[in-house]
Amino acid sequence: MAVPFLQRLAERTDVVAVITNPDQPAVRGYALQKSPVKQCADELRLPVWQPERLSDGAFRERVASLNADLAVVVAYGKLIPPGILSIPRHGFLNVHFSLLPAYRGAAPIQWTLMNGETQTGVSLFWLDEGMDTGPLFLQRSIAIAPTDDGDSLRRKLMTLGVAALGESLERLERGDKTATPQTGQASKAPVLIKEDGHIRWTESATRILNRLRGTTPWPGAFTLMTIAGRSHRLKVLKGAPLPEPAAGEPGTILRVQEGIGPVIMCSQGAFVLSLVQPEGKKPMSGWSFWQGARLKIGDRLS
């Protein structure tokens, strides 16, 4: 997510250093792999620092030696120590992908979708010692489309955020360093875990759709089905709510929608599974899955 912001900064400012996380082992094998940020910085021939600990005294001295006017933070994932925050002349400007103070934390895009919000945006704010609590410099909002998922909304917010960063630089160059305290109801957006993708059929069909949207592409929505006494995980890749009248316990397979897939009872309404991925298999339509699944009407998913 940070790469487009680095590219914009390199286009219109003098980037004196890029600070990113240390190289990590590749998905397969033990070779270390550069992050996309480091790859971009190398292509732009910018100096890259990858400190293990920001609290290291030598690192603070190194930052101070840059004589930087501004530090821009995007998706870094670590709290900046107070002793470093005051070093750049203007401070640290953080790009956050929500309308603060809503959705403070590591996963604002995902929780915004899972909670069914219809509007979100980007907040550029001045870092302080708290978790996304600093005063605002600039905010820009955007509508959330009913078809948006975590991937599509992330791309939209990146585009909005890069434009907002450009506007922020122009304002700073004019001597405008607005710092407006955050107001309104604060909420949290903690990092997602795999279990956050577990569909709860005791929720409404609409909330299940929002969980699917918010956990796409990671960790992914899933449900459990029991076949021959063994529990199997079924990934749910696409689906839709149906205005089904109450007709059974949540999780019950009510019927099969011809050509689409099985219809599952929820606490309110029902949900049709149109694209799924059984364990150890490739994605398939809900209809194809039903043709080969050893399930019947009346079975329950959990």
Q: What is the pLDDT of residues 167-196, one digit of tens each?
A: 999 999 999 999 999 999 999 999 999 999
Say yes or no: 249 and 126 in one domain. Answer: no
> Please, which residues bridge with residue 72 across strands?
93
Say yes or no: 207 and 267 in one domain. Answer: yes
DSSP secondary structure string, 190-232?
PPP-GGGGB--TTSBHHHHHHHHHHTTTTT-EEEEEEETTEEE
pLDDT class of 26 with cuts at 50, 70, 90: confident
Last residue of a domain, one of 173, 203, 226: 173
Say yes or no: 159 and 237 in one domain. Answer: no
Say yes or no: 138 and 237 in one domain. Answer: no
pLDDT score of 15 more than 80: yes
Give the E-state strand segments of the chain in sequence order. 18-19, 24-25, 32-33, 48-49, 71-74, 92-96, 119-126, 136-143, 221-227, 230-242, 253-257, 261-265, 270-278, 284-285
Taking the C-alpha atoms of residue 206 and residue 220, their distance in angstroms, rounded to an integer, is: 17
> CA 126 → CA 91, 121, 165, 196, 233, distances in Å?
7, 17, 13, 31, 43
The pLDDT of residue 244 is 78
The pLDDT of residue 81 is 93
Domain annotation covers residue 198: yes
- DSSP summary character for residue 79: P
- Mean pLDDT, the chain, as a whole number? 95
Count, residues in the chain: 302
Say yes or no: 241 and 212 in one domain. Answer: yes
Q: What is the pLDDT of residues 216-244, one digit of tens each?
A: 999 999 999 998 889 999 999 999 999 87
Average pLDDT over residues 70-79: 94
122 touches 166 (CB < 8 A) = no
pLDDT score of 27 more than 70: no
Say yes or no: 148 and 261 in one domain. Answer: no
The pLDDT of residue 227 is 85
Domain with 127, as residue range(s), is 3-173
Say yes or no: 168 and 204 in one domain. Answer: no
Specify the number of domains making up the chain: 2
pLDDT higher for 34 or 15? 15
Considering the entire predicted model, what is its pTM?
Answer: 0.95
Domain annotation covers residue 300: no
Number of neighbouring beta carbons within 10 Å of residue 33: 13
Average pLDDT over residues 57-76: 96
Say yes or no: 34 and 147 in one domain. Answer: yes
CATH number of 117's domain: 3.40.50.170
Q: What is the pLDDT of residues 102-153, one digit of tens each?
A: 999 999 999 999 999 999 999 999 999 999 999 999 999 999 999 999 999 9
Taking the C-alpha atoms of residue 266 and residue 251, their distance in angstroms, rounded to an integer, is: 6
